[in-house]
C-alpha cells in the first residue's frame, strides 16, 4: 500500500533553515509529481510546493517562493523540502501528498497524505 | 486565487441524523473540480469525494458530494460516531488548488 513518511521537523529560530524529508513506498514514485501541503495550528490547509515526476519542473506558493526549495531523489524514493529564512508564520504541520494521477499541476486533489511533521519557528 | 468559504463553522448533530455541509467559491469551479476531505485530530486529511460523483476508495456511500459553479454540498446520511470530525473542501479548477477553512462536525 502507498506510504508516505515525513521526517526532519522541529523547533527553529526565525531566519534559520530546516529540511524536511518524505520517504515514499508502495507505488512507482518516479511516475508521480509530488506536493507539500501545510497546516498552521488550528487552521486550514495551504498548498506549498510541487515537483514534477522527473524533478525538472517546480512551483511554489507565493508565501514561500524564494525561500523554500523542493527536490526529489527517484533512486531513493525520497522527497525533500529545504526551508530557508523561516518566519514565525511558517509554523505548521507539513504533509507530503500524492495526487491520484500522473499529472503535473497544483490544480489537483490529493489521494494520499503522509502523517505530517511539525515545524515550529520561534525565538 | 479562488477563495472557498465553508458553512457552518460548527455543526452539532446526533448519531443517526443527516449532515449538510456547504462550500461556496469566490468564482466558478465548474461541476467537477471540487473535493472533500475529513480530518480527525492528529491525523492527515482523508479524501472523501472528488469531481461530480467520485468517491474515494473505501469511503461509504453515506458520503456524497454535489453542486456546481460556486455552490457545493457534502451530505452525510445517518451519521456514525466516527463521522464526527473536521471537513474541508478543496477546489482544483485553478492553480493553486485552495482549501476552505473547515466545518467542525461535533456530537450534540
pLDDT of A70-118, one tens digit each? 999 999 999 999 999 999 999 999 999 999 988 888 889 999 999 999 9
B52, pLDDT greater than 80: no
- Spatial distance between the Cα atoms of B2 and B96, rounded to a whole number of angstroms: 8
> Closest chain B residue to A104 measured between Cα atoms?
B95
A53 contacts: CB under 8 Å, gap ≥ 6: A30, A31, A32, A33, A74, A102, A104
Pair A55, A72: CB distance under 8 Å? yes
Nearest to A38 by CA among A18, A61, A55, A57: A61
- Spatial distance between the Cα atoms of B53 and B74, rounded to a whole number of angstroms: 11
Task: Count CB-CB contacts under 10 A for residue A7.
Answer: 12
Pair A14, A87: CB distance under 8 Å? yes
- The predicted structure's pLDDT at residue A88: 97
What residues of chain A lie within 8 A of the CB of B36, using their CB? Answer: none
Query: What is the SS3 assignment for A90?
Result: helix
A57, pLDDT greater than 90: yes
- The predicted structure's pLDDT at residue A18: 97
Cell 508502495 identifies what position? Answer: A26
- The predicted structure's pLDDT at residue A48: 97
Task: Count CB-CB contacts under 10 A for residue A32.
Answer: 21
Query: What is the SS3 assignment for A29?
Result: helix
Length of chain B: 108
> Closest chain A residue to B86 measured between Cα atoms?
A44
Residue A113 at interface with chain B, using a CB cutoff of 8 Å: yes
Amino acid at each position: 500500500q502507498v506510504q508516505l513518511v515525513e521526517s526532519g521537523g522541529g523547533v527553529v529560530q526565525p531566519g534559520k533553515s530546516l529540511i524536511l524529508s518524505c520517504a515514499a513506498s508502495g507505488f512507482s514514485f518516479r511516475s508521480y509529481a509530488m506536493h507539500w501541503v501545510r497546516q498552521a495550528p488550528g487552521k486550514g490547509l495551504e498548498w506549498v510546493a510541487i515537483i514534477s515526476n522527473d524533478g525538472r519542473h517546480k512551483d511554489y506558493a507565493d508565501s514561500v517562493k524564494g525561500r523554500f526549495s523542493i527536490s526529489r531523489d527517484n533512486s531513493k524514493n525520497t522527497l525533500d523540502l529545504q526551508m530557508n529564512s523561516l518566519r514565525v508564520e511558517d509554523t505548521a504541520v507539513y504533509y507530503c501528498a500524492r495526487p491520484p494521477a500522473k499529472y503535473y499541476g497544483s490544480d489537483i486533489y490529493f489521494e494520499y497524505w503522509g502523517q505530517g511533521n511539525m515545524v515550529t519557528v520561534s525565538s | 486565487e479562488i477563495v472557498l468559504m465553508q458553512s457552518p463553522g460548527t455543526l452539532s448533530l446526533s448519531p443517526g441524523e443527516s449532515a449538510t455541509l456547504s462550500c461556496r467559491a469566490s468564482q466558478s469551479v465548474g461541476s467537477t473540480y471540487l473535493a472533500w476531505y475529513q480530518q480527525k485530530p492528529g491525523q492527515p486529511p482523508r479524501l472523501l469525494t472528488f469531481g461530480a460523483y467520485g468517491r474515494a476508495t473505501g469511503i461509504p456511500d453515506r458520503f456524497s458530494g454535489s453542486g456546481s459553479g460556486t455552490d457545493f454540498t457534502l451530505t452525510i446520511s445517518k451519521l456514525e460516531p466516527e463521522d464526527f470530525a473536521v471537513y474541508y473542501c478543496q477546489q482544483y479548477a485553478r492553480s493553486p488548488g485552495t482549501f476552505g477553512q473547515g466545518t467542525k462536525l461535533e456530537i450534540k
